[in-house]
Amino acid sequence: MFTDGFWAERTRINREVTLGAVYHQTKTTFRFEAIKGKWTPDETRYRPHVFWDSDIAKWMEAASYTLTTHPTDTLQSQLDDIITRYEKLQAEDGYLNSYYQQVEPDKRWSNLRDLHELYCAGHLIEAAVAHYEATSDRRFLDVMCRYVDLIESLFGLDDHQLQGYPGHQELELALIRLYEVTDEDGYLKLAQYFIDARGTQPHYYDEEATKRGDKPENFWAKTYAYNQSHLPVREQTTAEGHSVRALYMYCGMADLARLTGDEELKQACLTLWDDVVKHKLYVTGALGSTRLNEGFTSPYDLPDETAYAETCASIALVFWAQRMFLLDPDSRYIDVLERALYNGFLSGLSLDGSRFFYSNPLAGHPAIDPFNMWSPVLNTSGKTYEREEWYDCACCPGNIARLIASIGGYFYAQHDDTIYVNLYGANAVQFNIQDSPIRLIQATNYPYNGRIQLSVDVDAPTQFTLALRIPSWSSSSSVSVNGEAITGEITRGYATITREWQQGDVVEIDFDMSIQRVRANSKVRHMAGKVALQRGPLVYCLEEVDNGSELTAISLPNDGQFDIVLGEDILEGVPIIQGSAYRQDTSSDMLYTTQNLELNQIKVQAIPFAFWANRGSGEMRVWIRET
Amino acid sequence: MFTDGFWAERTRINREVTLGAVYHQTKTTFRFEAIKGKWTPDETRYRPHVFWDSDIAKWMEAASYTLTTHPTDTLQSQLDDIITRYEKLQAEDGYLNSYYQQVEPDKRWSNLRDLHELYCAGHLIEAAVAHYEATSDRRFLDVMCRYVDLIESLFGLDDHQLQGYPGHQELELALIRLYEVTDEDGYLKLAQYFIDARGTQPHYYDEEATKRGDKPENFWAKTYAYNQSHLPVREQTTAEGHSVRALYMYCGMADLARLTGDEELKQACLTLWDDVVKHKLYVTGALGSTRLNEGFTSPYDLPDETAYAETCASIALVFWAQRMFLLDPDSRYIDVLERALYNGFLSGLSLDGSRFFYSNPLAGHPAIDPFNMWSPVLNTSGKTYEREEWYDCACCPGNIARLIASIGGYFYAQHDDTIYVNLYGANAVQFNIQDSPIRLIQATNYPYNGRIQLSVDVDAPTQFTLALRIPSWSSSSSVSVNGEAITGEITRGYATITREWQQGDVVEIDFDMSIQRVRANSKVRHMAGKVALQRGPLVYCLEEVDNGSELTAISLPNDGQFDIVLGEDILEGVPIIQGSAYRQDTSSDMLYTTQNLELNQIKVQAIPFAFWANRGSGEMRVWIRET
């Protein structure tokens, strides 16, 4: 669907590089070998791991989305081969988990709290749904339906059932996707059970630990808030614990509220949303202030260097924001989605598509690596950490691939006769309004430029509403149809145009993309006295390669002017911010002084945060002191 | 020796409160019970612990110093009782360790790396030396000499000996103290062995781990730099690892260099000193940037909120600085000693003498507790952490008590006919110069006031040199004798006056105690754009009780004026800094804005850092933004 520009390029690289890189790493780390069901304890090269199924599933999902737009025999046969392995692996009763079936066959369902059993089921379901939607082949969908039928029989409120729920949420939202594609009420009800059972008393994880012979109070994460089971979900008013677990759960809650009309659950979602965006969201759309719990800490606790800011958490925020929009159509959710997408998420991937960040901190310095707790002690390399080709815990690479492969799905939404235009970018897409095909073509250099030309291609004049999202970062905007300005009210963040659209109608949209100085709430103690630069949806940063090291010695004058120049080489065509700044002298070898520090006027250059660490290793900083 | 004022009060509280509090806690935690030698595995109230002997020893040392100046029957009998227990506990062969003798009698000397066996020996030796010096009673000294004789036979370079050394340094400096009181060359040589064996190859801890059946690479601290055995000590040029271990070792190195005239070792001390004071020292004289290794990280890596800044590390810095001065008489060491003493050390103790900080971070906030790694995740109390009555790992309380009880020993030093006046405070002291008694009497309100009157009391006119330390924080100073200004050169930080001193001669000294703004090197990224306030040797801080919460919203205008007022109640007589400042509005509930943040003019009040957290729990901050 992408015609050219930003997303055409990002999706091309995803198809041509990332998808293959993830497949290659998954293979060379024996993850595909592990689903053959032939592992024995004397096999020393690999031992199936509790989350390997999810790694495979995410690749399958990404590959399936790609099949839809760019089918290849290779992808098709790679997927078929994996599906065949899973078909063979599946137990007689429907159970399917490559770790438990081979390594601890007697311990099924004994540690939901820690061991990702239901989480893997969730990802495999998402893969099955994506594969079915891409191919209409039910093979893998049937495998997963059989497994879900088993889970449905085992978990629930009946006395003979386990009253458990996933330690790492994911199955909830997956069951709803499965319900939406199969229309099986049981799957929706099972999702509802998992959402509502969570955090009730007596606490399932207490009982499960005791049954295993463990003391519940020895839970390594120290609090059930870690996996959001500290309270029943409807009573949760603040985002706590592991960010990805939390947001996958919120996705399930939002879906369920939308599908069931459950107002109480919707209210819980709205309350949690507010807590996240008002107290716990990085300016890059990243989440998770510390690696200790890979998650949330206190309100306004947003350190930059040690931000955990897991790529998967920004991905989860994209998922959740989209679902909040579907539950409660308002562009404020898409504003956050766009912030996460273009910053905290995209920074997770190198521009060439081959390397990944697990953490996406808002500052990089050789003294610290937020992903490695011991880094301040052990890092003697003198190098700022960089993206890696792979991780032992490889949740992010596959997650990145599947989001990019499906990114087209976030650009528009249709509700009856209204087409929401949520994201901008050069693309062409088709809708049906009352059985009439409607094609929309966006021509734009967004996100580098705020001008969008949206052409309407209809077979016959058709009455419908275009709801154009007006991004909250745009201080002014104009919309015209066929050259005539539209001056209507903006409702819930959308400029809506209802008319009988004619073939060749052209909507022109212009968003102000002036460079903005963003300041954090004064309660954010790490950002006091600092600004971040933003232009359009892109948050910018200073990098050592452009500005030298010791970036904290740099400050921006409050009244300084900025210019835009276009980047070259690997940053070809990317708007780059240039301006004047001050740099403190760093030549002294005294640690403390009672003198004023000498200031030198310098030029600084800022690039989009998402593109940092693509030109060698070095310092980086989003938040810059303002003087 | 203290006549009145600051140290008369601090030492009185140490005698009347702290010493008793530490004794009480040591007793109620069964540490005294544990040295009876009667523990059996069915005793569930306590199990001797590997570092309990050191806790007892530090109390014994503090009590012994106190006996010298303020003997009481209670202290005497408490000490006697402990000594009797240790006499009985001591094994036939001289071995003495309450943990190994009772809990793991077969595992003596099997884990020097982790289990504090030689460390405890060191503290017991220091206690024995102090007790002997205070009482001339050799009982405990003899116990420890017997133990050291055993250690001397077991450790060394002979094939039949263990080539090991302490995992936690302390024994080295203790052996030198023992040598200085006994004149036994063997003890000096044993110290030298432990210093020189450290970090040599093949690595003893590799071999020891293998012998235990452990893999050396599984060392929990991940690097031998943790305990400074990554290199032979003479090859170490940067301060690494656990701060207290490092500095106790540097003490031993400095002592050894002084006593043996070992120039190479002296040079290693000088190099390490430079690394610490130029790259790794907090403005409060604290050391240790993270709790991960309780120690050093990278140069200029000095976060304030998460500073580990262990009280024991500032104590160790006082020890080391004093020894560096003895090795290389220069006031720069005493400048650092004084900084550590009045700030990073004294903050470890509540003003009433009953509660202790383990960590002494340079900022306090409810979101963080540098002593508890999980605090950003778990602290939902909304309270900034406070001093505690005791710790499971109780190294700091006894260490505080022994330093205050012996603080008088740091005020002066005599070298031939020169008397160095290193610290100032109201006191009276006696020296002998060529068999003539010389009494010096300081009258001053130091550290609250920079004026000192030093009176000389001699039986007959006596020729000697007074070397008066001119603190580096003093931008101007004056010295006069009997009203006549002395204008000589300042040599290595001392104003020296050589003359035939007469009875009643009066030296008047006046140090400028203007309030100073201290700025950190621009490479200290956490302190960029910030200032700390200092007056005389005291570093100041803002506290919530005086200035409200959200202290990072406060900034000091670069040209702002400050006044001094005297404190009341618990801060009676303490100079308090008042001035104008700005406070950003914190009422917004938006997390980010593109607007300027509203600034309100406010009054701020700063108190000495050492005295924070004595008026309830709340935020604190040393480094304040400057605008």
B463: CATH: 2.60.40
Q: Which of B379, B588, B625 sits opposite A528 (nearest CB)?
A: B625
Return the SS3 of A258. helix
pLDDT computed for residue A568 by the predictor: 96
Task: Using pLDDT thresholds of 50, 70 and 90, give the confidence band for residue B378.
Answer: confident
Looking at A175, A190, A210, the residue that finishes a domain is A210
Alpha helices, DSSP H, located in A331-383: 331-339, 375-378
Nearest-Cα distance to chain B for A595, in Å, is: 7
Number of domains in chain B: 3
A294 occurs within a structural domain: no
Task: Using pLDDT thresholds of 50, 70 and 90, give the confidence band for residue B489.
Answer: confident
B520 occurs within a structural domain: yes
Task: Using pLDDT thresholds of 50, 70 and 90, give the confidence band for residue B380.
Answer: confident
Task: Using pLDDT thresholds of 50, 70 and 90, give the confidence band for residue B385.
Answer: confident
Interface test with A, best of B273, B522, B598 (most A CBs within 10 A): B522
B6 occurs within a structural domain: no
CB contact under 8 A, B594 and A518: yes
Q: Which of B376, B590, B594 sits opposite A290 (nearest CB)?
A: B376
Residues B488, B538 within the same domain: no
Neighbours of B244 (CB within 10 A): 26
> Is the pLDDT assigned to residue B376 strictly greater than 90?
no
Residues A503, A573 within the same domain: no
Average pLDDT over residues B149-157: 98
Residues A429, A565 within the same domain: no
Interface test with B, best of A377, A598, A619 (most B CBs within 10 A): A377
Amino acid letter, A45: R
pLDDT computed for residue B250 by the predictor: 98
Averaged pLDDT of chain B: 97
Residues A533, A419 within the same domain: no
Query: Burial, B622: exposed, middle or buried (Cβ in 10 Å; 0-12, 13-18, 19+)?
Result: buried
- Which residues face B480 on adjacent strands? B485, B508
Is residue A389 among the annotated active site residues?
no
Q: Residue A333 in contact with residue A261, Cβ under 8 Å?
A: no
CB contact under 8 A, B278 and A585: no
**Longest CA span, chain A:** 78
Average pLDDT over residues B353-359: 98
Please choose, from the candidates B441, B498, B491, the residue with its C-alpha nearest in 3D space to the C-alpha of residue B466.
Answer: B498
B43 occurs within a structural domain: yes
Q: Which of B222, B300, B597 sits opposite A374 (nearest CB)?
A: B222
- At A546, which helix (H) or strand (E)? helix A544-547
Say how far residue B622 (Cα) sits from the centre of its chain. Answer: 20
Task: Using pLDDT thresholds of 50, 70 and 90, give the confidence band for residue B379.
Answer: confident
Residues A463, A535 within the same domain: no
For the stretch B226-265, pLDDT in tens is 999 999 999 999 999 999 999 999 999 999 999 999 999 9
For residue B283, the chain A residue with the least C-alpha distance is: A592
Nearest-Cα distance to chain B for A516, in Å, is: 7
B544 occurs within a structural domain: yes
For the stretch A158-217, pLDDT in tens is 999 999 999 999 999 999 999 999 999 999 999 999 999 999 999 999 999 999 999 999
Rounded distance, CA A534 to CA A538, Å?
A: 6
Cα separation values, A100 from A51, A110, B370, Å? 11, 10, 40
Residues A447, A580 within the same domain: no
Residues A532, A502 within the same domain: no
Q: Which residues of B are catalytic?
A: 294, 395
pLDDT computed for residue A263 by the predictor: 98
CB contact under 8 A, B590 and A278: yes
Residues A47, A179 within the same domain: yes
pLDDT computed for residue A378 by the predictor: 87
- For A118-127, A363-372, B64-73, B371-380, which range has the lowest pLDDT when averaged over its residues? B371-380
CB contact under 8 A, A522 and B279: no
CB contact under 8 A, A376 and B290: yes
pLDDT computed for residue B340 by the predictor: 98
Nearest-Cα distance to chain B for A518, in Å, is: 5
Interface test with A, best of B302, B335, B521, B583 (most A CBs within 10 A): B521
> Which residue shows structure tokens 């093949």?
B202
Which residues from B are below 8 Å from A528, CB to CB? 552-553, 555, 584, 625
Task: Using pLDDT thresholds of 50, 70 and 90, give the confidence band for residue B346.
Answer: very high
CB contact under 8 A, B552 and A278: no
CB contact under 8 A, A553 and B523: yes
Q: Which residues does chain A have with pLDDT short of 50?
A: none
CB contact under 8 A, B523 and A277: no
For residue A596, the chain B residue with the least C-alpha distance is: B519
- At B330, which helix (H) or strand (E)? none
Rounded distance, CA A162 to CA A151, Å?
A: 10
Residues A470, A533 within the same domain: no
B319 occurs within a structural domain: no
For the stretch B430-448, pLDDT in tens is 999 989 999 999 999 999 9
- The boundaries of the domain holding residue A442 are 412-511
For the stretch A437-470, pLDDT in tens is 999 999 999 999 999 999 999 999 999 999 999 9
Q: What is the pTM of this model?
A: 0.96
- B249-253 contact pairs (CB < 8 A, 24+): B249/B169, B249/B172, B249/B195, B249/B198, B250/B320, B250/B323, B251/B172, B251/B173, B251/B316, B251/B319, B251/B320, B251/B323, B252/B169, B252/B172, B252/B173, B252/B175, B252/B176, B252/B191, B252/B194, B252/B195, B253/B172, B253/B195
Catalytic-role residue among A395, A396, A508, A619: A395
Return the SS3 of B587. coil
CB contact under 8 A, B378 and A223: yes
ipTM of this complex prediction, to 2 decimal places: 0.95
Packing angle of the helix pair A171-182, A139-154 (nearest 10 deg) = 120
Which residues from B are below 8 Å from A550, CB to CB? 522-523, 525
Q: Residue A442 in contact with residue A427, Cβ under 8 Å?
A: yes
For residue B518, the chain A residue with the least C-alpha distance is: A594
Interface test with A, best of B280, B281, B377 (most A CBs within 10 A): B377
Residues B563, B422 within the same domain: no
pLDDT computed for residue A373 by the predictor: 86
Looking at B176, B210, B244, the residue that finishes a domain is B210
Q: Which of B301, B376, B591 sits opposite A297 (nearest CB)?
A: B376
CA atoms within a 13 Å half-sphere pointing along the CA-CB vector of A255: 25
In percent, the amount of chain B with pLDDT more than 70 equals 100
Looking at B155, B175, B210, the residue that finishes a domain is B210
Rounded distance, CA A396 to CA A466, Å?
A: 35
B105 occurs within a structural domain: yes
**Longest CA span, chain B:** 78
Q: How is B73-138 classified by DSSP, letter by letter?
A: HHHHHHHHHHHHHHHHHS-TTS---HHHHHT-GGGTTS-TTTS-HHHHHHHHHHHHHHHHHHH---
Residues B468, B612 within the same domain: no
pLDDT computed for residue B145 by the predictor: 98
CA dihedral angle for residue A452, residue A453, residue A456, residue A462, rounded to 10 degrees: 70
Please choose, from the candidates B21, B28, B29, the residue with its C-alpha nearest in 3D space to the C-alpha of residue B392.
Answer: B29
Residues B32, B130 within the same domain: yes
Fill in the DSSP letter of residue A581: E
CB contact under 8 A, A591 and B521: yes
Q: Residue B455 in contact with residue B440, Cβ under 8 Å?
A: yes
Return the SS3 of A487. coil
Which residues from A are below 8 Å from B591, CB to CB? 277-279, 281, 300, 520-521, 524
CB contact under 8 A, B525 and A596: no
For the stretch B271-288, pLDDT in tens is 999 999 999 999 999 999
Nearest-Cα distance to chain A for B76, in Å, is: 45
Rounded distance, CA A393 to CA A311, Å?
A: 13
For residue A549, the chain B residue with the least C-alpha distance is: B523
The two tokens of residue B166 are 């302490």
Strands B484-486 and B477-481: antiparallel
B154 occurs within a structural domain: yes
Please choose, from the candidates A543, A530, A526, A534, the residue with its C-alpha nearest in 3D space to the C-alpha of residue A620.
Answer: A543
